Amino acid sequence: MASEGPKSAFELAMERLRQKDREAGVAEERPLTDQQKAAIAEARQVYQARMAEREILHRDALHAAQSREEIEKLEGELARDRDRLASDRDRKIAEIKQPPKSK
């Protein structure tokens, strides 16, 4: 195989990381199937829809808030919901990426 010219620092760093992964026994990611890609896209769409719904409810609640304490409480709830929904989405995507279990 002919040399393709000098490698960039990024390419060299990626080669070192792949080598460390091989030495540590970490398997390289396999390409996703079309079915997995579709399932991941659906999981992301569901997350976006739920987050949009939550933000609409949050805006409505902010308009009704009477005090700074209520506003702070609502902001905290939104942040927790955002984190929970993102965590749920990421867990679902990780499950989709897992190879099917052999019987």
Residues 6+ apart with CB under 8 A from 88: 47
The b-or-e profile of 56-90 (16+ CB within 10 A means b, else e) is eebeeeeeeeeeeeeeeebeeebeebeeebeeebe
For residues 99 and 57, the answer to whether their CB atoms sit within 8 Å is no
**pTM metric for this prediction:** 0.65
Residue 101 pLDDT level (bands cut at 50, 70, 90): low
pLDDT digits (tens, 9 = 90+) for 10-39: 888 888 888 887 787 766 667 888 999 999
Q: Using the predicted structure, report yes or no on whether residue 102 has a pLDDT greater than 60.
A: no
